[in-house]
A and B are shown apart, each in its own frame.
Chain A
Amino acid sequence: MTMSSSNCKRRIVGAAAAFGALLVAMTAAANPVPWQMNLDKGVTPVSQQIWNLHMAALWVCVALGILVFGAMFIAIVRFRRSKGAVAETWSHNTLLEIGWTVLPVLILIGLAAPATILTREMYNATDAQMTVKVTGYQWLWRYDYISYDGKPVSKVPTVWSRLAADSNAARQLDSGISPYSVKAADGSNSYLLDVTHPLVIPAGVKVRFLITADDVIHGWWVPDFAAKRDAIPGIMNDAWAKVDKPGTYLGQCYVLCGQDHSAMPVVVKVLPRDEFNAWLTAQQNAATLDKAARTARVEPQQPVPPKG
């Protein structure tokens, strides 16, 4: 295969641009942005359908608002006593009343039908190729890989996902550290949205999250996945997501869970599948080596998990 030099250059530029765009997308896609006014579309088919439903409902509300407030505005302008308006005395109009009872019902059916279909889809966690157990603690997340590709995952160590140290230092009362100075590696602000160890999942794989908690109720949520469930002690909830676009996605605990409720972010890193497989193998090897080394040194077990 031959390639002209200009074609080659164009390709390189194109690849660089694509890579740059990917980088931007990876860093910016999931972050809330200053002055943001609307939901993110997110990166899963479910989150995008929710966004469509949200916009439909929003526009219905805007239209009804224009209708109702518009009628009221016209009444306020036209039927003023100061302009000599004389009040009429009627107080009934059966046709009108039937109309504005039936019409809202029809509009609501129009919204409820797609919402019902979408709810069914959100509840369908069957055929997941991967299962991760998510446990909420005061105030961190614990991730355990349960199964992947139909096989149990046994050697990957538990991931403890706490607030990153720089955010933690800055958030203390009178810390003297500006939240604006807390930056991620890419330069974006990561105040309260960065963790020690993110959850890592593969792209293009339907992942089922089993969500529970060990002390009080927490809430596990990644807005861009529209994957969200309460994490409740004694109850195992599930949510799922199939993310095609690699990147880092951010969320926060959304159920009041005590003093550091604002300090338990959810960070999920989605890797391309081959990279993920490599990462998983590396984790397994490291764990095996670590275990062997510890056995050789006859050290005590790993320290007990940090708790509240």
Chain B
Amino acid sequence: MSSTAQAVHHEEHHQSFFERWFMSTNHKDIGTLYLLFSFLMLFVGGSFAMLIRAELFEPGMQLMQPYFFNELTSMHGLVMIFGVIMPSFVGLANWMIPMQIGAPDMALPRLNNLSFWILPFAFILLLSTFFMPGGAPAAGWTMYPPLVLQGGESIAFMIFAIHLMGISSILGSINIIATILNLRAPGLDLLKMPMFCWSWLITSFLVIAVMPVLAGAVTMMLFDRFFGTNFFNAGAGGDPVMYQHVFWFFGHPEVYIMILPAFGIISEIVPTFSRKPLFGYKAMVYAIACIAFLSFIVWSHHMFTVGLPLGAEVFFMYSTMLIAVPTGVKIFNWVTTMWKGSLSFEVPMLWAIGFIVLFSIGGFSGVMMALVPADFQYYGTYFIVAHFHYVLVGGALFSIIGAVYYWLPKWSGHMYSNFWSKLHFWSSVLSVNVLFFPQQFLGFAGMPRRIPDYNVAFADWNMVSSIGGFWFGASQLILVGVVIHCVFFSKAKATSRVWEHAYGLEWTLPSPAPHHSFTVPPVIDDSQLAHGDVSH
């Protein structure tokens, strides 16, 4: 064994910068690359959001032409979904899954390298459309035909970029499934795994199931635009609504691809800082599986006003409402995990509590819009915008930031600044509500989404929302400072356990985690499982 360790050590010494960061097959390095990439994209997509909120600061057009505004909203959505939320979850999976299941690396390390390195090229293609004649795609991130087909040649680049992103996430998911199913340490049964691994195992199947559907939809669009087919052209017997069905058959599971790993993260953080086992571990696993299944049979709730038959409206209303049940179970279980625990409020716990509150608010508005008649008054308004930003910013993004604060000491070997990270949390959680809560009022008042200009009656809440937006955007700069300080300048060494009550295999490794870990499978001690539930 010692010779292996020496060989590993030897290899590390001779890796040049280029070899280490461009040719890496190491799950930790690739995880870091994913996280850095999505961090960069957060500021790219965020800068689009800042421009959007600046134009919406007051009525009238002040900064840009309406078409450019549409380019911004479309690209903001695509970048945030495919460039931030999804890659950062994959990055966390890369870092944590091998360490949580006692594996030396991902099952398919070279594939791992490929699936990351596809992404920068995909986003260069996507973002380059801004500089092309006719501008970037401007039909929204949902890319509905016929509108999207009016765009310039640049939509070919957008479609190819989406194909690449799809390939990247499918490869990543195959890798995660292969790793979890094959490389668990002896004795680590599936039902002993940490919730984060469970959430990603199920998410991976969703990714593999629906990314090809999106690829099919955009390929048909490509053919309509460039090769004379008429899939979506009503004038030649095609059907624009068919695109919406295909798109949302991808799109709704996609929503859960962006939130299930968050459920896993929160299920890790809450028991640690409650010093109490996760309440209802098995129920949590089944709830995730149940949500994943239901996500395939609810897609038309994105299309209630499209003119569906009555029976379809009612079916999709019921199936959508059903999702509230397992989702409710998860929230009740987190709260019950905290009940009669011994709580402390380190920074990751603050983000987890913020997640539970904000995600619940987004969930509540989701139940309201599941009701078909009510959705007729909400559809296409800012109420929808508020809803999905509560679940994607207050939900997904908060969980990702929480995860970074939870595992950063493990990755870097240093503790971060308590003051600045707490300031980051409080600043973010206040501003995110100033940003999105008024958007619910705007929606109720009837303000349509995706408009650059509005009647003066909408002016006041828009100004409040914009102020919240600038505040939230600026708050994220604190995170840059905290991370740079922690990695390069912090003097505070992290212990291997880092958090007093943190259990699970990753905490048995030293901090920072060695470049190669678990080259020898660990022995599983059932009393040290991450979820703390010794009965499984």
Contact = CB atoms under 8 A, between A and B. Distances in A.
Contacts of B379: 228, 254
B60 A79 contact: no
B60 A234 contact: no
B332 interface: yes
A158 B360 CA distance: 49
A254 B305 CA distance: 11
Contacts of A96: 336
B526 interface: no
B280 A92 contact: yes
B445 interface: yes
Given A233-B234, A234-B239, A101 B380 contact: no
A257 B61 CA distance: 18
A97 to B, nearest CB: 6
Given A71-B339, A191-B456, A217-B240, A119 B373 contact: yes
Given A72-B353, A92-B279, A189 B456 contact: yes
Between A38, A89, A262, the greatest number of chain B beta carbons within 10 A of the residue's beta carbon is seen for A262
A172 interface: yes
Contacts of B339: 71, 75, 79
A79 B373 contact: no
Nearest to B239: A234
A228 B144 CA distance: 19
Contacts of B8: none
Contacts of B381: 254
B377 A81 contact: no
A123 B147 contact: no
Interface residues of B, number: 98
Given A79-B340, A100-B329, A61 B60 contact: no
Interface in B47-92: 59-62, 64-67, 70
Interface string A45-79: 01101100110011011001100110110011001
B328 interface: yes
A263 B59 CA distance: 13
B342 A33 contact: no
A221 interface: yes
A115 interface: yes
Given A36-B441, A68-B332, A221-B380, A97 B67 contact: no
Contact of A100 (B235, B332, B361): B332
A241 to B, nearest CB: 12
Interface string B167-209: 0000000000000000000000000000000000000000000
A87 interface: yes
B335 A53 contact: no
Contacts of B380: 219, 221, 254-255
Nearest to A77: B343
A85 B368 CA distance: 38
A223 interface: yes
B60 A175 contact: yes
Contact of A91 (B279, B313, B451): B279
A93 B314 CA distance: 34
A61 B329 CA distance: 15
Contacts of B239: 234-235
B45 interface: no
A120 B345 CA distance: 50
B457 A34 contact: yes
B447 A50 contact: no
Interface stretch (A105-113, A126-134, A269-277, A297-305): A105-113
B280 A91 contact: yes
B147 A216 contact: yes
A233 B307 CA distance: 12
A37 B342 contact: no
B377 to A, nearest CB: 6
Interface in B359-413: 360-361, 364-365, 367-368, 371-374, 376-377, 379-381
Contacts of B374: 50, 53-54, 57, 115
Contacts of A65: 360-361, 364
B376 A116 contact: no
Contacts of A60: 367
Contacts of A123: 310, 313
Interface in B199-251: 234-235, 238-241
A122 interface: yes
B453 A192 contact: yes
A178 B454 CA distance: 12
B314 A116 contact: yes
A158 B441 CA distance: 36
Given A216-B146, A233-B146, A39 B377 contact: yes
Contact of B460 (A35, A228, A237, A252): A35
Given A101-B329, A108-B325, A257 B335 contact: no
A304 B280 CA distance: 68
B234 A234 contact: yes
Given A191-B59, A217-B147, A260 B66 contact: yes
B445 to A, nearest CB: 4
Name, among B70, B357, B457, B533, the residue most crowded by chain A CB atoms within 10 Å (CB to CB). Answer: B457
A34 B460 contact: yes
Interface in B420-470: 441, 444-461
Nearest to A84: B342
Contact of A262 (B66, B318, B329, B441): B66
Contact of A234 (B240, B324, B448, B461): B240
B341 A75 contact: yes
19 contacts: A37-B444, A38-B441, A57-B367, A57-B368, A72-B338, A81-B344, A87-B274, A91-B337, A115-B371, A118-B372, A119-B373, A122-B372, A221-B380, A232-B234, A233-B234, A233-B240, A235-B307, A261-B70, A262-B451
Given A32-B445, A93-B336, A177-B60, 6 more contacts: A36-B444, A69-B360, A101-B328, A119-B372, A191-B59, A230-B307
Across chains A and B, which 8 residue pairs bring their CB atoms closest together, nearest first?
Answer: A234-B234, A254-B380, A262-B451, A61-B364, A36-B445, A237-B307, A87-B342, A91-B277
